Amino acid sequence: MTRPPAILRFAPSPNGRLHLGHAFSALLNVRFAEHLGGVCRLRIEDIDPVRSKPHLTEAILADLTWLGLDYPRPIRHQSRHMDEYRSALARLVALGLAYPCFCSRADIRSRATAFDPDGAPLYPGTCRHRDPREAAARRERGDPHTWRLSMAHALPRAREERALGYIAFGDEGESWVPVDPAPWGDAVIARRDVPTSYHLSVVHDDAVEGVTHVVRGADLEAATAIHVLLQRLLGLPTPRYHHHRLIQDADGRKLAKSRGSTSLAELRAAGIGAAEIRLWCREV
């Protein structure tokens, strides 16, 4: 059976300037796309209405152009597809797999007794068994709420056909990786301010864009368990995944916008050329 053409994607969020870690990931995506005889697309993951800024989207495009990268058009901007995410959420709600949660972060921190794979306080299930009539009344009057995936209902349904997992790929071939989403607990699949979350929007977009291979940082490897689960629940294909190592600073910490890691724009202003960055990313 012939595989479909390989489609990859580089998907930055416009909440800060790109740094060397982003350059490494973007160029690695292109390298894999070329090796697989496919194409790499660009996606702007801008569901955050507060942190995502139009001028940062323009900066991303400028940085990638400077690196010599060009992407097929149109470029998908998540903020323009909220109705699609709303529909995906509605499917999970209709299946009885999601419920509204009215807890604040402070509520969760004060009641949590464990942590999820990202190190955040694990949701203790406060709203899991809330009376549906009470929950509906609170939503009706506009009480802020998220939507959470009911892991107790989702896992049995997802495992009816076969075990959960994905195919990992890399320079040395492919292998099967089993996953267990249970440690994530009842993960948020729609935020208070938008009808989606990173988890929900990314699996929806990968399916819509026909993504066959996902190349992203090792910091997202644990989250792949939630993504595989959502793909199974929504009847979406599971791409192959490659989680690459993270670029670190002199202190051994991964580069991050939140820590003010040196941006590509700053490197460019210091006289470092795109060819030098491209060579460094291949040799690092």
**Best CA proximity match to 134, nearest among 99, 93, 180, 184:** 99
Q: What gap in Å lies between CA 170 and CA 66, rounded to an integer?
A: 27
Asked if 257 is an active-site residue, the reply is yes
User: Which tens digit of pLDDT belongs to each residue from 34-69?
Assistant: 999 999 999 999 999 999 999 999 999 999 999 999
Kindly tell me if the per-residue pLDDT of 260 is higher than 90: no
User: Which tens digit of pLDDT belongs to each residue from 227-241?
Assistant: 999 999 999 999 999
Kindly tell me if the per-residue pLDDT of 259 is higher than 70: no
The pLDDT value recorded for residue 110 is: 95
Rounded to the nearest 10 degrees, how much is the dihedral formed by the CA atoms of 20, 80, 200, 63?
A: 0
Fold of 1-80+248-284: Rossmann fold (3.40.50)
**Best CA proximity match to 22, nearest among 281, 283, 282:** 281
Which whole number is the average pLDDT over 128-144? 95
Q: How far lies 56's CA from each of 14, 79, 189, 205, in Å?
A: 5, 14, 25, 21
Question: What are the domain boundaries of the chain?
Answer: 1-80+248-284, 81-206
Q: What gap in Å lies between CA 91 and CA 97, rounded to an integer?
A: 9
Which DSSP symbol is given to 76? E
- CATH homologous superfamily for 81-206? Glutamyl-tRNA Synthetase; Domain 3 (3.90.800.10)
Q: What gap in Å lies between CA 134 and CA 154, rounded to an integer?
A: 23
Kindly tell me if the per-residue pLDDT of 256 is higher than 90: no
Kindly tell me if the per-residue pLDDT of 255 is higher than 80: no
Evaluate whether 122 touches 112 at the Cβ level (below 8 Å): yes
The pLDDT value recorded for residue 36 is: 96
Which whole number is the average pLDDT over 115-139? 95
Q: What percent of the chain has pLDDT over 90?
A: 90
User: Which tens digit of pLDDT belongs to each residue from 137-186?
Assistant: 999 999 999 999 999 999 999 999 789 999 999 988 999 999 999 999 99
Catalytic residue among 146, 257, 263, 281: 257
The pLDDT value recorded for residue 158 is: 97
Query: What are 220's two structure tokens?
Result: 């997202």
Q: What gap in Å lies between CA 247 and CA 263, rounded to an integer?
A: 13
